[in-house]
């Protein structure tokens, strides 16, 4: 898979969602801010939807092609 | 003029992940967790967004978060490992031959200890976050 628009969001959500989840845990344990918790949940939800959608494309659409070379 | 032959990947389609098990168990775990996670992540995203408006989803959200957290572990570890590999030009977690590695060390003088530790530090923080979330998070 070439570096692409999709790949940017794939990597962004792959690394971003875990960071947001850890921040959510920190918020729950230390900060206790309701607004921050909701903002984090919105970002996590959006990130997961993007990650899942790109994953479906990558694994179940792109990965199923039989006549594909690694460079394509 | 004969038409060009279409290129064929002799490794077979990427859906056959079982073949990884024979020579790269870590990669197999990573890919298997990813396959399971992909559809679940979409559901999880929807549940997280819905839970903002429906407070009754709290317990479901907590259990779902724990499952996604566990499934995300191999992805995070591999990403951290990949970053270490890239930052050290393949000296950490790479398979450079001895001569090549020696020349690299001479040229760049880079110690790899911290970079080798990096994925494990990330993993430790991730595990700590999991415990904290289970104990203190009340969605």
C-alpha distance across the termini of chain B, in Å: 67
What tens digit of pLDDT does each residue of B35-49 get?
999 999 999 999 999
Closest CA to A18 of B37, B53, B112, B39: B37
pLDDT digits (tens, 9 = 90+) for B80-92: 999 999 998 888 8
Mean pLDDT within B52-62: 87
Closest CA to B73 of B16, B17, B24, B130: B130
| Residues in B lying within 8 Å of A, measured between beta carbons | 6-9, 11-15, 34-35, 37-46, 48-49, 51-52, 65, 68-69, 72, 75-76, 79, 125-126, 129-130, 132-133, 135-138
pTM of the shown model: 0.81
Residues B110, B92: Cα–Cα separation, whole Å: 10
- The reply to whether residue A59 touches residue B34, judged by beta carbons under 8 angstroms, is yes
pLDDT at B16 over 90: no
User: Are B57 and B50 within 8 A, CB to CB?
Assistant: yes
Low-confidence ranges of chain A (pLDDT < 70): 1-3, 62-72
The pLDDT, as a whole number, for residue B65 is: 93
Asked if A48 and B67 count as a contact pair (C-beta separation under 8 A), the reply is no
The DSSP call for residue A31 is I
**Which among A29, A41, A62 is the nearest to B52, CB-wise?**
A41
What ipTM score was computed for the predicted complex, to two decimals? 0.81
| Separation between Cα atoms, residue B123 and residue B128, nearest integer Å | 9
Residue B2 or residue B44, greater confidence = B44
The whole-angstrom distance between residue B44's C-alpha and the CA centroid of its chain comes to 18
Residue B98, exposed/middle/buried by CB under 10 A (0-12, 13-18, 19+)? Answer: exposed
CB-CB under 8 Å, B41 with A52: yes
Mutate to test the interface with B, among A15, A47, A52 (most CBs of B within 10 A): A52
Dihedral sign for Cα B15, B73, A7, B23, please: negative
What average pLDDT does this structure show over B95-106? 86
Of A43, A49, A46, nearest to A19 by C-alpha is A43
Spell out which residues of chain B touch residue A22, defining contact as CB-CB under 8 Å. Answer: 125-126, 129
| A15 chain-B contacts, CB cut-off 8 A | 76, 79
């Amino acid at each position: 898979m070439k570096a692409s628009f999709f790949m940017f969001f794939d990597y962004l959500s792959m690394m971003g969602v875990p960071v947001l989840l850890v921040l959510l845990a920190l918020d729950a344990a230390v900060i206790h801010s309701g607004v921050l918790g909701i903002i984090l949940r919105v970002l996590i939800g959006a990130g997961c939807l993007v990650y899942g959608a790109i994953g479906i494309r990558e694994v179940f659409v792109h990965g199923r092609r039989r006549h594909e070379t690694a460079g394509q | 003029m004969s038409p060009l032959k279409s290129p064929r990947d002799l490794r077979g389609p990427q859906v056959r992940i079982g073949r990884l098990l024979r020579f790269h168990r870590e990669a197999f775990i990573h890919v298997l967790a990813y396959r399971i996670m992909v559809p679940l992540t979409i559901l999880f995203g929807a549940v997280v967004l819905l839970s903002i408006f429906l407070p009754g989803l709290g317990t479901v959200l907590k259990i779902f978060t724990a499952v996604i957290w566990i499934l995300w572990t191999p992805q995070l570890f591999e990403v951290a490992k990949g970053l270490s590999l890239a930052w050290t030009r393949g000296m950490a977690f790479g398979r450079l031959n001895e001569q090549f590695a020696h020349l690299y060390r001479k040229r760049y003088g880079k110690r790899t200890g911290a970079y080798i530790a990096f994925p494990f530090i990330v993993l430790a923080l991730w595990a700590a976050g999991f415990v904290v979330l289970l104990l203190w998070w009340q969605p």
